Amino acid sequence: MLLATTLPPDTPLSDVPAAVRRVERLGFDTVHVPETVHDSLSVALLALEHSSWIRVRTSMTLAFPRSPMVVAYAAWDLARFSGGRFQLGLATQVRGNIVGRFSMPWSDPAAQLTDYVRALRAIFAAFTRGGPLRYEGTHYHFDRLQPYFNPGPLDVPEPDIFTGGVNRLMCELAGAEADGLVTHPTNSHPRFLRGSVLPWLAAGAAAAQRASRPVLVVGAKAISAPDARSLHDALADARREMAFLYSTPAYLPTLALLGHEELGVRLTQLVRDQRWDELPAALPDDVLGGIVPVATYDDFPAVIGDWYGGLCDELSIATPADTTADDRFASMLEAVRAVPAVSVGFAQADPPALPPG
């Protein structure tokens, strides 16, 4: 199984070089660049500049605040600059953020993101062949790309396009259009993967008559630590994040599947009432331990094998802030790498290349 990790969303730009070099030393295959308080494409450039072989994937660049042409230029530059190590991850976000935080319209997100991915591929093709550009979709229309504005073909493959999604339409979209799907922490439980995500991906791929499936990257909130005491502290940090995430109505299906629908309703109400400080206490330890894998380093590989063996191509694991146990953490990652990759849901595709060594 391949391994990814995510840069902390609030990592200062000045700290990105050291952070990505550490991730590479630990042996991860991919580093995810989120988009919360920084521009993901800018951070991706820094990460690529200060790494040697690791893949850098935005997870996720918000599509709708940007024109596909703007994203295409950035992705093309990053692919060329990195020798092909850049992967573009795209997501819709939720209506409240797109409308309220970015002042952009929101209508049919699945159809719009489908059109967005198709427009990007049309633009990539025009960059490669030298134009002209002719694309007419449901949400985007492109008919102009003079030679002066064409960056020209790459000497590496064009960037893979990953999409993010939680529910059926977005997973089917990935199956039909994307090179890979990155799941959200709230739809990464094994029961949800088996019962929903994998069948949805297969349905999307079948509807599009694709010869192979997209890569499946599970963005689980897996919690690990060197010992029981530090694991307790890690649980406290995770509780805050997961309580916030599960307060979003669109992210409730897993809680409902596991019999915690009332908890989801309560978390949503706390946010509506602006009672942010009460969110962590509303998510008990026993519930948290049932929705995300939790273990010390010694037990973590076996726990991951039980949860995710045969269910995904790549698993995202958080890198601890404390560097004192990096040797133990790296050894643990090597053991996790031995967990079998996806084997159910749809036919195997060729896996991504492993790093040198």
The answer for residues whose C-beta is within 8 angstroms of residue 33's C-beta and 6 or more apart is 6, 7, 40, 43, 44, 47, 56, 57, 58, 59
DSSP string, 203-243: HHHHHTT-SSPPEEEEEEEEEEESSHHHHHHHHHHHHHHHH
Per-residue pLDDT at 234: 87
pLDDT of residue 212: 81
Residue 196 in this model has a pLDDT that exceeds 60: yes
Q: What residue spans define the domains of the chain?
A: 2-234+294-337
pLDDT tens-digit series, residues 221-242: 899 999 999 998 888 888 888 9
- Condensed to tens digits (0 to 9), the pLDDT of residues 136-176 reads 999 999 999 999 999 999 999 999 999 998 889 999 999 99
pLDDT, average across residues 288-304: 94
Span between the terminal Cα atoms of the chain, in Å: 15
Q: Give the model's pLDDT for residue 286.
A: 85
Residue 343 binned pLDDT confidence (cut-offs 50, 70, 90): low
pLDDT more than 90, % of the chain: 78
Closest CA to 198 of 344, 63, 307, 308: 344
Name the residue among 343, 258, 321 with its Cα closest to residue 292: 258
Please determine, for residue 67, whether its predicted confidence score (pLDDT) is greater than 70. yes
CATH fold of 2-234+294-337 reads: TIM Barrel (3.20.20)
Q: Residues 336-357: what's their mean pLDDT?
A: 56
**Helix, strand, coil share (%) of the chain residues, nearest 5:** 50, 15, 35
**C-alpha–C-alpha distance, residues 292 and 279, integer Å:** 17
Section 191-208 average pLDDT:
94
**Confidence grade of residue 204 (pLDDT, cut at 50, 70, 90):** very high
Q: Is the pLDDT of residue 356 over 50?
A: no
For 210, half-sphere exposure in the C-beta direction (CA atoms, 13 angstrom radius) is 25
Distance of CA 16 to the CA centre of its chain: 18
| Stated pTM of the model | 0.90
